[in-house]
Structure 1
Amino acid sequence: MLDRRSAAGPRRGVRTTRVAVPTAAAALLVVGVVSMALGRYPVPVGHVVEVLVGQLTGNAYLGPATEQDVVTLVRLPRVLLGALVGGGLAVGGVALQAAFRNPLVSPQVIGVSSGASFGGALALVLGLGTGYLVASAFVFGMAALGVVFLVTAGRGGASMLMIVLGGVVTGSFFTALVSLLTYLADPYSTLPAIVFWLLGSLATATFGKVLVAAVPVLVGFAVLLALRWRINVLSLGDEDAAAVGIRPRPVRWTLLTAVALIVAGAVAVSGVIGWVGLVIPHLVRMWVGPDHRVLLPVSFLVGAAFLVTVDTLARTLSGGEIPLGVLTALVGAPAFFVLLRRNRDRIWDRA
């Protein structure tokens, strides 16, 4: 349960914002530049900076044309896409943990990831193009939220337990449909594509996919930022929220819709990537505290830097592409275990 001081301390929040947000932004910038320098065709960091500055100012890059093409056409969209997906999943986890007042909640709990997975797998089985795959994943991800809403809708409203149970049931249903599609898929062509996509990857990143992800992720993030004060109050409990004039259920469903929009957009372009929305909120909360005015923007920046780093490792550690879902689990599970062991009493109650 969140500490009651999470909605207090405006001066402390302002001071923390002035330090934490620039620090996290600088870290993301450094990680992004280094990521664009690394790969099978290495580019010096100084040259990467020259290429990026040239793109912003309109000045021609005087170095090898291959370096400019690698940075601008291959690695820049991949870094941007990784930042959007990682940041979106991180803030989705922050919002859900506050809405449900449970530190173990992640974006997968509302079933949207499973719905989006089914949509993408269906597009692959039908042999549709990349654009249809993204659209199908997004549509079915939002449809999963609609199913949760229908399951939990009632005259007296839905409790948090009912929403979680509705999400679990919906996620299980769509997971079963994904399993059915993998059983029916051609084992020599379609099945490997489905499995690789479900494990998560940014290998097919383009500026088009960056735009597709940017719209739902940034819109959802903007909604969460607009509700940051209400999230602080909601994290104290429904009774306290109602006492200050906030209606908990509409706010909670607004949060769920925003998170569903973010998760559906992320899964549509990258596949299923776990642990980001569970581990990053805890790490950032230990750094900046539970005030969502600071926690949300810093979590977005740290989540973005984390996934860009993991994606860099995925494409440089071996000759092939290691699925992101595998690496995030390998990194996230031990990190979360260490956090639980060292901070069992402080992770969620720190002010």
Structure 2
Amino acid sequence: MAENKNQHFVPRVHLAPFSVCAEGKAIHLLNLDRKKVIFDAPVKNQCSRDYFYGQDWKLEEAIQAVEGHYGQCVASLHKPGAVIDASRATVLRRFAYLQHVRTEAAAHRSAEFVFAATNFSGVSFEQPTFKEAVNTAVIAAMRHYAHTMTVVDDLKVRVVRNLTSVPFLTSDDPAVLANRWHQQRVQDRSFGVSSAGALLFLPLTPTLLAVFLDGDVYQAEHVGGWISVSNPADILACNHQQILNCAANLYFGDRSSGIDVQTMAASVAQLRLPSRFDVVVAVADGGTATHSRYAVVEPKNVVEHDDVLVHVKAVRPIPPRWPSFVKFRNKPFVFTNDTGAGFRRRTTAISRLQNSPCWRKVRG
């Protein structure tokens, strides 16, 4: 059985640098649902649930090990002359990916994915309760992470030094997957960690933020992996990622920032998505001896049919601006095999099915 009943999906070691005086005891937050700032909330009560990961002590120990390495890494980055070597880069990548898949918001999105595919008339799938779906999603996410943690190892790691008076914010879902290439070049809001053009943003402290990027698509001028930023607009662009991605709460440690955080959140509130999924439903509509034909219909108009196709894809918000320190390469390239797998990076352009079309390199 797990030793700790109260388990954090955003660990205290991440929240501590954003807490009051970085002491890890109290933290200020803006709840977006209520549009209310709450001062001096206990850190120990934030982003946690009883037995969130179940009662497997081995799983709990494994998660704590990743968190421990992360905490040591972030602390070391504040030391003079800190170097972003291969070891630190690996620690940051693995933690960012774990954090991306394991939050309550991520579990809710997985559960909502199931409900989006089954929650309408005409589909007879057995549907779990939402709580059951969330619990199942958490365990599935941990198993998925264990088997796919190397998927982010090819991403370039850059750490941003914030030289402005605007602090980085964090949230209840702080490791944000974004993709400027996909949204601007392909005009598609659906992408994943394996996709070409992937970006991950993870605030480390109010003055440090890690960016993980596809080096075949983007470039970011740096000195030893460090990027010094003095333009407040770039810090706002990073904070917008937190606002658009979070489930409900933004966190900060300076009490005087309350009004600024509210203003910042209000400026992009209309860009938060009411749903993270697009659902397309098609019903059998004739065909030939060798091919079936389907007609797309509104989910609300589905009636009892013997043959129904449901396609659900995740969609992600489009930020109002992107940080200027991440730019497109002059000649970006991606990989495709012209299937529903989409555009991939060179290390993720892998087919696990026999007779799958070959991947080919194309200019992006």
Which of these two proteins has the greater Rg computed from alpha carbons?
Answer: 2
What TM-score, normalized by structure 2, do the two folds share?
0.25
What TM-score, normalized by structure 1, do the two folds share?
0.25
Give the number of the structure whose residues are more often strand, by fraction: 2
